[in-house]
Chain A
């Protein structure tokens, strides 16, 4: 027993968190004070140790949810770290692990970055098992397959991939397994790190895995043939393969009235175009093509800009940078402070900067429209990418006017068209065109009309609506 304890101490490392509770000199319990529930140990394990000592009870008869028998000290150390309690006996090479996990969990609340007006408010938490259960409660089918994996050579973290085995194609699932297996790192902290390791184009501005904290989104995507990647300790779940249009789809689009949903969807794509091009267009028009502006507008622009000392590009860069700084600062501040920052930054600073004639009011309007447009994009990672695309376009517009914008846009389109996510064209169903999926891209069709799974995502079972009552009524 002493040898085992010495070796175990070596595996666990030096920490007062690990408790070595000797019942007798022949029996010892080891657990992690922070992760194990001491009530379970006191109530369900300690009272039975005397019986084990006397040989009247076997350790696996202890009334806890899970008992593991093992002689692998490395595994024992890992499980103790997660909240298991180990029983070490004299004259026995076998150790017993009792499930006494009792770490306090966060409540299943609505994620702040994915608020919704209709639909489920549930959001993932930091516990893997809870997250898997949340998906299973939304997508209750025996086809839902969960495969666990561990990543990390120095400190391992447990994760899981989820897919529907009768919908997702083996090619995609195998590719996910293969890429995860090839992540050789000491430790991993979040799914975002996994994304960096497995994505096809690491230098791109745009995410190639769709990240979400909502179980209903994961369920909907699994039902289309995607694979979900979860990691213990993070509420952010990755879905692959990802499509560019996917980042513009909101959950409400499928619940709202047909016209309202389409209006919102088109508005988001208009937001994408505006977020990227409105500031470069302003720069190009004011710098090079003022003769193309309506005369009355040109006069008022000239009047407004008369006392501004900077060219439009500098004006735009000053305001864009201030706005990005405010956004970045506001992101991590507590709510009341964030609001103060908004007032001070947005109103006071904006007013002061115009009064000081550093920039014109027109550029404030342009940059604000651009910022609001970028906030319309439902996915935070995608909106960040789109905001950054604007800067090279601004520089090109300042150097070559409309021609510069044209060059920038076609480079952007080519870059997007050449991207793939796990072998699936990133710009599908727009390029290449998949007519069947156009009903859920820039526009959104009635859900009862989406009878087949999206052609853009490889899948096994094509039909998802066998018969539509609404269709009969329409006929």
Chain B
């Protein structure tokens, strides 16, 4: 267990890491959120909401190119000085842990509502926390490879959703743009948060071997998410319509539930397995980012990393127990989303501006 940069990532590994961190449990309610304002044009809001992610990648690369050997925990100190740097690192760690906690809690609620109705939520979150603890205690390469392998399986699983078009009414999509530009833009609000994650590049940049390929790999990863989200939204809209999509809490899951497959009839069994992976992967990745930033900011390595991992696991479990209802969890999810927007767009700008003022050039 070590966090030195012996464990190199390829740009392809990074792409899979980014996809896995970006795609999390809130995909299940993404179409409904976008449809709140944009109605049947929700898919256009999903497309537009991806723009900040591309901008973020560009900004982060600008700042990381100046400090190619530094991860976020060291970068903050180097650019902003020890006190502000440590404060920013701590804020990022809190954000990453809170993000993981929200994902874990939300998914536990999904499992509790759809599969294990009588099992208390705290038991499910405990199982999730123990699982992600094992995963984020591994080195970055193992995590990236796990993400890569599961992504292929998930892709095969997504292809099965082709059956979701069998009872669809394509007229729901027409006329395109009927909701109006203002509503489509308002619809992006709910979707922005699903594109948060490029900030992980601030943490993993020193691990990546071919830095020239990062922008291409990162952009492809975001594009992959854009396509996935748009397809999911279109599936929901053509089946339920924008109005109904907005009523369901977990609209995509409700859509899957409403279909019957040949032989197995209902596909929730497989959906539960694959969606668990999505939630586990994104929370594990977030916690790895927190662990690495904490280790770098505090200058901890070797066997003391075990204590960091255990402390983060305990902390994240504590956070998952705070919300009392699903709507409360959603409120926390929004707060974490806003924080995420700051780390995705605000922090790179601040770091870039300060380093520019200090006259540091790209290497």
Contacts and interface: CB of A to CB of B under 8 A. Distances in A.
Interface residues of A, number: 31
Given A400-B116, A402-B115, A413-B150, A432 B273 contact: no
Contacts of B357: none
B265 A292 contact: yes
Contacts of A142: none
B148 A433 contact: yes
Q: How large is the interface on B (under 10, 10 to 19, 20 to 34, 35 or more residues)?
A: 35 or more
A432 B134 contact: no
B265 A407 contact: no
Contacts of B142: 414, 417-418
Interface in A416-458: 417-418, 425, 427, 430-433
Contacts of B134: 411, 414
Contacts of B144: 432
B152 to A, nearest CB: 7
B178 to A, nearest CB: 38
A292 B266 contact: yes
Contacts of B135: 410-411, 414
B276 A407 contact: yes
Which 7 pairs across A and B sit closest by C-beta, in order of nearness?
A: A418-B142, A406-B276, A431-B149, A431-B145, A417-B145, A406-B273, A417-B146
B174 interface: no
Nearest to B262: A294
B264 interface: yes
A284 B131 contact: no
A400 B128 CA distance: 11
Contact of A289 (B10, B119, B139, B269): B269
B122 to A, nearest CB: 13
Given A292-B268, A414-B138, A403 B115 contact: yes
A207 interface: no
Give the most central of B12, B141, B146: most A CB within 10 Å.
B146
A430 B152 contact: yes
Contact of A414 (B10, B127, B146, B274): B146
A288 interface: yes
Contact of B272 (A403, A417, A430): A403
B264 A294 contact: yes
A158 B276 CA distance: 51
A417 B265 CA distance: 33
A288 B268 CA distance: 12
A432 B10 contact: yes
Given A288-B116, A292-B266, A417-B142, A432 B277 contact: no
A295 B270 CA distance: 18
Contact of B269 (A402, A414, A432, A433): A402
B223 interface: no
Interface string A381-404: 000000000000000000011111
A51 interface: no
A267 interface: no
Nearest to A284: B269
A293 interface: yes
Nearest to B153: A413
A275 interface: no
Contacts of A293: 265
Interface of A: 281, 284-285, 288-289, 291-295, 400-407, 409-411, 413-414, 417-418, 425, 427, 430-433
11 contacts: A289-B268, A292-B265, A292-B266, A294-B264, A400-B116, A402-B270, A402-B272, A404-B127, A411-B135, A414-B138, A425-B145
Interface string B125-164: 0011001001100110111111011101000000000000
Contacts of A417: 138, 142-143, 145-146, 149
Contact of B148 (A294, A403, A411, A431): A431
A69 B234 CA distance: 86
Given A292-B268, A403-B273, A425-B141, 16 more contacts: A292-B264, A294-B264, A294-B265, A295-B265, A402-B269, A403-B115, A403-B124, A406-B273, A406-B280, A407-B128, A410-B135, A410-B277, A411-B134, A417-B143, A418-B145, A432-B13
Give the most central of A293, A403, A432: most B CB within 10 Å.
A403
Contact of B12 (A289, A407, A433): A433
Nearest to A426: B145
B185 interface: no
B131 A410 contact: yes
A392 to B, nearest CB: 12
B154 to A, nearest CB: 11
Contacts of B119: 400
B103 to A, nearest CB: 14
A229 B75 CA distance: 47
A407 B272 CA distance: 11
B118 to A, nearest CB: 10
B150 to A, nearest CB: 6
A417 B16 CA distance: 14
Contacts of B141: 425, 432
Interface in B38-93: none
Contact of B145 (A289, A400, A404, A432): A432
Contacts of B264: 292, 294
Contact of B138 (A285, A406, A418, A433): A418
A418 B139 contact: yes
B255 interface: no
A404 to B, nearest CB: 8
Nearest to A289: B269
B116 A401 contact: yes
A285 B127 contact: no
Give the most central of A400, A409, A431, A433: most B CB within 10 Å.
A431
Interface in B250-309: 263-266, 268-270, 272-274, 276-277, 280-281
Contacts of A402: 115, 268-270, 272-273
Contacts of A413: 146, 149-150
A353 to B, nearest CB: 28
Give the most central of A288, A291, A425: most B CB within 10 Å.
A288
Contacts of B244: none
Contacts of B13: 432
Nearest to A406: B276
B174 to A, nearest CB: 35
